[in-house]
Structure 1
Amino acid sequence: MDKTRLHQILSLAQRAVREAREQIGEQAWQGLETALLSGERPWHEAVLLPLGLAQEMVLRDPDLRARLDRLQVAPGDLERISDLNLQACDLAALLPWNLTKGAYVFDPDLFRSLVGAPLERLPVDLLTRLPEYAPLLVFPEPWQGGVGAWVHLDVDTRFAPAHLEFRAVLLGENGRRLPLLLDLTGATLEECIQGTQTETLLSQQLVGMEGVSFPAAAFDTVRGLLNLALYLASEEPDLSGRPRPLPGVGQRRKDKPPRVYPEPDPLRIEVGWRIGAALRRARQAEARGQGGAGKSPQPHIRRAHWHLYWTGEGSRKDPSKARPKVRWIEPTLVGADRLEGELPAVVRIVEEP
């Protein structure tokens, strides 16, 4: 991706953050950052800012809050509720991203393989291992009306039992944002889609709104974003660098309260450029026609897929100790040893002991 286009996308992302800050106010934004990073968070560890808390932050009209509590909304409330929900979706994604600002720029070939890959069973546990709470996925080309998307997890406590949700905010070329979600209540993508539709209709009906289902095309977008997110959370993603850690709470002036000071600029992390470069070199070798009868197969691409396996010390004797892991098997380059030169180096993220 050329620097000009990346700069445009990151400028749109930072503008979205500024708009979200202005909507709740600078003092409320800083206070929420400080509270989230300095106190206990009594919800799932993979969630930094639950949507329910974000909704509390944007819903500052006491009369509207009272009507919602009584499930007795007035005719003019519905549009306002919709606007506030969009603000809350922005806040739940943008505040966590602003703390670390990781911008994950996908290689074009890997990107196309991922967004087009099938996805049946959902490895929910893997999604809890995203490199950041709300990474920004930067698309190498426009896709589904967007140039990028923030992805994150949420915990839904409205309906028992509480469960995780996959959420995304699609960033459009014009800066507009579209929130997307998937309830992670089923073992398969189809079960999760059905659960999402059912719960969405129920939540709308509870406040007197006419139930409207998500269009089927929205879940095609969700599936693609899930595959991108799962790649970042997989065992050995091809990343050019490490994400930033969460900043601490500091006090730079004695006359000011402690607050959070995030890095001002996004951090570009390239994704899949090693495998992408190898795939392109394989195609070039194939085009040159280096094969022939009696020779080893030409370098070619084996279809990408997800592979589930079980690991864990003592798991052979005691299956209860086994831990599921999902590995993204890239569009594998078969016969790579026949290409001249070495594959580009890649930085692997390794946990310190």
Structure 2
Amino acid sequence: MTALLPPAELARAAALLRAGELVAFPTETVYGLGGDAGNGRAVAGIFAAKGRPHFNPLICHYPDATAAFADVVADARARALAARFWPGPLTLVLPRRPDCRVDLLTGAGLETLAVRVPDHPLALALLRQAGVPVAAPSANRSGGVSPTTAAHVLEGLSGRIAAVLDGGPCGVGVESTVLDLSGAAPLLLRPGGVTLEAIEAVLGPVARVLPTAGATPRSPGQLLSHYAPALPVRRHATAMAADEALLAFGPPLPGAAITWNLSETGDLAEAAARLFAGLRWLDAEGARRGCRGIAAMPVPETGLGLAINDRLARAAAPRR
């Protein structure tokens, strides 16, 4: 983790949020595009800056579980998960309280709200100083590859937002796990930085809801086509064409035009942290070299591999 910013810079960013402006900031997962979740104009500004459809809900970020549970109804399951994984890359979808401070647009008009407490010192300091719930999807244009550095944010949103706080590269590198606890049975809506195995160790069996074409999202991160570079992505590659860029995992396949290795040793945590940076680099360098697409080698469907494969599947899905 990087050191905190000078107090004056942090105070300015918090003041911008309270004034309804948009501020990008680092979390342990990816950089978020923050706005006051209780300010409908600020939330509308997030959708406009990203080009994000208004039916796709946003995640609200809080400095601690007490602040988060002031806006949603938390049962024993939610409190057990919060005690185990917050601060951390887990988002809980819970029923809104009648006195919820969050504008309905933030949750796309649903009776539920997605909440989390990020595990990054700069994010937590900003949330404490702002003193408001902060809606923050990934700080990139909608559907594109999520940003894991401040430079990535500026590539897509420069001129559209008020400020970017630079906290260095994100440590986890894929978005938070999204778990729906609004019903009797827990549902995994999006795999992410907290593994399914870790959640099941607390709750028992959890069913997974897969994204489907045309379905209205029940939470953030459920669109079928998402996290996509400009070049088409081919999954489960076992051989390469000379005009393809390779996203490798472990010993790389021969014959690629260019290669980005997620992890030469097959480490899933390293692979997750390098995924979005790799897709961005292969997209830019592959286009420069005339590559026709990106081929991704297989990644195990366990631990963080579930989240990596989820992002690759959406990157490879038919474009909207």
TM-score of the superposed pair, with normalisation by structure 1: 0.29
Larger Rg: 1
The structure that is helix-richer by fraction is 1
TM-score of the superposed pair, with normalisation by structure 2: 0.31
